[in-house]
A = this chain, B = another copy of it.
Amino acid sequence: MITRGQTRIIKIGNRKIGGGHPILVQSMTQTRTHDVPATVSQILELEKAGCEIVRVTVPDMKAAKTLGKIKAQIHIPLVADIHFQYLLALESIKQGVDKVRINPGNIGGANQVKAVVKACKEKQIPIRIGVNMGSLEKDLWAQYGKYGVARVMVESATKQIKILEKEKFYEIVVSLKGSDVNQTIKAYEAFAGRFAYPLHVGITEAGTAWSGSLKSAVGIGSILSKGIGDTIRVSIAANPVEQVRTAWEILKVLDLRQKGISIIACPTCGRTQIDLIGLAKKVERALSQVQAPLKVAVMGCVVNGPGEARFADIGLSGGKKQAAIFKKGKVVAIIEEEKKFLPVFLQEVRKVLLEKGYQEDAQRLHQVSQK
């Protein structure tokens, strides 16, 4: 449905982004990187939640030297996040990281850039240039500030890209993050019109779990809906597992990736005759472990219920003491007692899973139902 921009394909470990490859979900650890067991444990938790690339901060040489040990214990590409110190980049690359996030414009000069580029070329790993609204170059502000911060962000990325291209290095991923959503959207759009390097999309410093998730959904969602973006990261002040869950939800909403169930539930109004909110929540909980991409509708509305159902794989439309179960718009069963709505519906979901060949999901759902 969304026509995605044709960006350059970049390899990150055993994954690829750009050129229409699936948009990958990434996150960043919150542990001290030197604390290998804690960092590995958080990464494994992130993997389980669906994280596909993970970044760790590398503030000093001690952290850099642990990266090999971390990488040996995880299953997704590892990215080293480095600021200013090129020696940390060299050590991280030596340790086997799959990508380095470093801005070549602030690591000391041409020799330092040459050293990092040489190391990346040898190991065939890419560099992410991370432009951030909060740390733009003063000279670029002076020159382009009058055109707005989005322009300064794009010029900053351009400057960094030129430094790498001068060294004939093109394995580049770019991010242009800001906490201002409008400016960030504008920056990504302008960049995508100027370069074909793949984009890492995010809104920085988005806020706490609730407001930050919504801010990320608006910002990242708007950018993705324009066909821009090859990997995303949700930056909220919360457990990184929440960041991954939110990132997936954004991708699912735009049909860019599929993962687990999507619930369609009506907001209820004075026409609703059953405890729809309660029922929808129970359905969502019961199906939370299902991996199959299934659209499930829970409706309390005779006006839109059956019609919306044509877009769902399976749905329930509940009225007073009676509910209809429909599959792809056709009624397949009528349930007469409200207390049977949930168990009968879950049974029918299980059948759909079996029909579609998701045996494990069906089994998992069966176990949940027995509880």
- The residues of A with any CB-CB pair to B shorter than 8 Å are 1-2, 28-33, 39, 56-57, 59, 63, 81, 83, 132-136, 179-183, 185, 204-208, 211-215, 217-219, 221-222, 225, 235-238, 240, 243, 246, 249-250, 253-255, 262-272, 276-277, 280-281, 284, 297-299, 303-311
Contact = CB atoms under 8 A, between A and B. Distances in A.
Q: Identify which of A212, A237, A303 gathers the most chain B CB atoms within 10 Å of its CB.
A: A237
A218 B225 contact: yes
A289 to B, nearest CB: 15
A113 B305 CA distance: 26
B219 A30 contact: no
B214 A270 contact: no
A270 B30 contact: yes
Nearest to A261: B211
Contacts of A2: 182
A218 B235 CA distance: 16
Contacts of A264: 179, 205-207
A255 B182 contact: yes
Nearest to A56: B270
Contacts of A243: 267
B30 A204 contact: no
Contacts of A28: 267, 269
Contacts of A204: 266-267, 304, 308
B304 A265 contact: no
B303 A268 contact: no
B205 A308 contact: yes
Contacts of A57: 269-271
B221 A218 contact: yes
Contacts of A183: 1
Contacts of A185: 225
A191 to B, nearest CB: 16
Contacts of A235: 266-267
Contact of A211 (B29, B249, B311): B249
Q: Identify which of A29, A249, A281 gathers the most chain B CB atoms within 10 Å of its CB.
A: A249
